[in-house]
A = this chain, B = another copy of it.
Amino acid sequence: MEAKTVDAGLLQSRYRLTKQRAAVLRALGDGKHLSAETILERVRAEMPAVSLGTIYRTLDILREIGLVQIFSFAGSAARYEATLEKHHHLLCSNCRSLTNVRADGLADLAHDIARRERFSNIDFALTIVGRCHDCTNRNGA
């Protein structure tokens, strides 16, 4: 069902639906917050000849269409995620894991700010950085 929506997204766009693009979408489907390198591995499981360049080109197209969200890090590789429903992120400063959360009420807050500052056509993202439960117990760095 997601795959259907997702393929439709590409078909409706000005881009062609190729094997490679479908495979990237599939790779994103069952895993979250993947790096381009990880996506490459997954896609290569079914299509060994795919190149990293194609992965990046595809991810960029998917982002443009709105099917993929990018999460950029200071000082390491970005992570990519299929846009299923609006959510936000908790990032563990220790193990760098990402957790998805909903943030009810944030939309109103963001739209108020945007209106006040005369921004239109907005999207918004909340990132909470902290130490996750596991890392807190496990103590460490």
**At the interface, yes or no: A72 with Cβ under 8 Å from chain B?**
yes
Query: Can you list 11 residue pairs at the A/B interface with Cβ under 8 Å?
Result: A105-B109, A109-B109, A110-B128, A117-B133, A118-B133, A119-B131, A119-B132, A122-B130, A124-B128, A125-B126, A125-B129
Q: A99 to nearest B CB, angstroms?
A: 6
**At the interface, yes or no: A34 with Cβ under 8 Å from chain B?**
no
Number of copies: 2
A122 to B91, CA, bound (A): 9
**At the interface, yes or no: A121 with Cβ under 8 Å from chain B?**
yes
Interface size of A in residues (CB-CB distance below 8 Å): 38
- List B contacts of A124 (CB < 8 A): 126-129
Closest-by-CB residue of B relative to A113 is B101
- List B contacts of A70 (CB < 8 A): 74
Q: A131 to nearest B CB, angstroms?
A: 5
The one of B72, B109, B128, B133 that contacts A103, using a Cβ cutoff of 8 Å: B109
